[in-house]
Amino acid sequence: MKIIIKLFFIILVIFGVWFFITIFSGNDREESQTFVVKNGEILDEISQNLYGDGLIKNKFVFRTWLWLKKAEEKVKAGSYIIPADASIREIAKMLINLPTNQQSTVQIIGGWNRQWDKLEKELTENNLSYQEFLQLTASKQDWQQQYSFLEDAPAKASLEGYLFPDTYFVDANTTVSDLVIKTLNNFDQKLDSELRQEIERQGKTIFEVVTLASIVEREVPNEEDKKIVADIFLKRLDINLALQSDATVNFVTGKGLAQPTLEDLQVDSLYNTYKYAGLPPGPISNPTLSSIEAVIYPVSNSYYFFLTTKEGEVIYSQTYDEHLANKAKYLD
């Protein structure tokens, strides 16, 4: 028994020595490297990314060190410059003590609109005024001289739909105007000349494409379904059949229902595409590039109806009777 205890003690000492050597050893890199922690990333993802980039030698030691420091949930999103030969201890200290001159991130998710509460949280957590953001994005008039893609939008249009979803780096010197410019510059770059030429060739406007893409973005999540749903909506527009998009109704009511109530469907708003045919007055969200491309390059199909189940599966129908049967089966 004494031998076992001594052996256990020796192993424990060896492990302890190895553990602390690993903590204090550098990463053997010759140059500094930028490392980004995104909003919402958990410790396992962060440690895997650090290890994959060759910035730490051991994921277990990194996670354990943060656990010992009671700092597993204190890692801050941001962009870090990791010095050459930085140790696990030094990197951990950087990630939980973001300097004031270091960058953090504002994330705009596809499908969010200007008044999304999570967007407000993203801004306020970075000391950016949400009210100023709403004011600066309330009218396209203040921006259209800088961005030609805004020219075909109605005079009273806001920047809804053009605040391109992405992760944006900000620091203590970043203003709300700077952030808005970052989103518009991103949109300007993503909507390249090929896409703009195809929109013009089809006889559409950028505003029309973005408006429909914003609906597609809120209706279905994956790329394949987006292209099918975009074609369904385009066919309905061609024959002046109401889009009947639940997403537009939810935009009016502020709800997120898979199936709006009968009362919701009666709301008198031009954004209610059950009551009014054609496109709504403007985008209901900020669409990703895949939704924009889905509207420009839809996949031809024979469907005129679809629904999304509570589990997120998209069910397509060719006729209204078939659609009603699917609603009874999957939603009622």
User: For 206-231, how does the pLDDT look when each residue is reduced to its tens digit (9 = 90+)?
Assistant: 999 999 999 999 999 999 999 999 99
At 317, phi and psi to the nearest 5?
A: -140, 150
Q: What's the pLDDT at 171?
A: 80
Q: What residues does 105 pair with on adjacent strands?
A: 169
Using pLDDT thresholds of 50, 70 and 90, give the confidence band for residue 278. very high
Given a contact cutoff of 8 angstroms between Cβ atoms, the answer to whether 218 and 111 are in contact is yes
- Residue 46 in contact with residue 91, Cβ under 8 Å? no
Predicted confidence at residue 39, as pLDDT, reads: 77
Query: Rounded mean pLDDT of the chain?
Result: 89
Provide the pLDDT confidence category of residue 293 given band limits of 50, 70 and 90: very high
Task: Locate 242 and state its tokens.
Answer: 């109401």
Q: DSSP letter at 194?
A: H
Who has greater pLDDT, 67 or 17? 67
Q: Which domains does the chain have, with CATH numbers?
A: 22-96 (3.30.1490.480), 104-190 (no CATH), 203-330 (no CATH)
Residues 6+ apart with CB under 8 A from 154: 207, 281, 282
Q: What is the mean pLDDT of residues 267-272?
A: 93
Quote the pLDDT of residue 1.
66
The alpha carbon of 283 is separated from its chain's Cα centroid by a whole number of angstroms, namely: 16
In this prediction, residues 72-95 reach a mean pLDDT of 82
What is the predicted pLDDT for the residue at 101?
57
CB-based contact 27:55 (threshold 8 Å): yes
pLDDT at 24 over 90: no
**Per-residue pLDDT tens for 25-37?**
777 777 778 888 8
pLDDT value of residue 4: 74
User: Alpha-carbon distance 38 to 29, whole Å?
Assistant: 23
pLDDT at res. 16: 66
Task: Give the pLDDT score at 312.
Answer: 84
Mean pLDDT throughout 271-283?
A: 96
DSSP assignment of 5-17, as one string? Answer: HHHHHHHHHHHHH
Spatial separation of the C-alpha atoms in residues 123 and 114, rounded to whole Å: 11
Q: Is the pLDDT assigned to residue 100 strictly greater than 80?
A: no
Distance CA 83, CA 95 (A): 13
- Each residue of 101-152: pLDDT tens digit? 566 788 899 999 999 989 999 999 888 999 999 999 999 999 999 999 999 9
Q: What is residue 80's three-state secondary structure?
A: strand
Q: Are 106 and 163 in contact (CB under 8 A)?
A: no
Name the DSSP class of 75. Answer: P
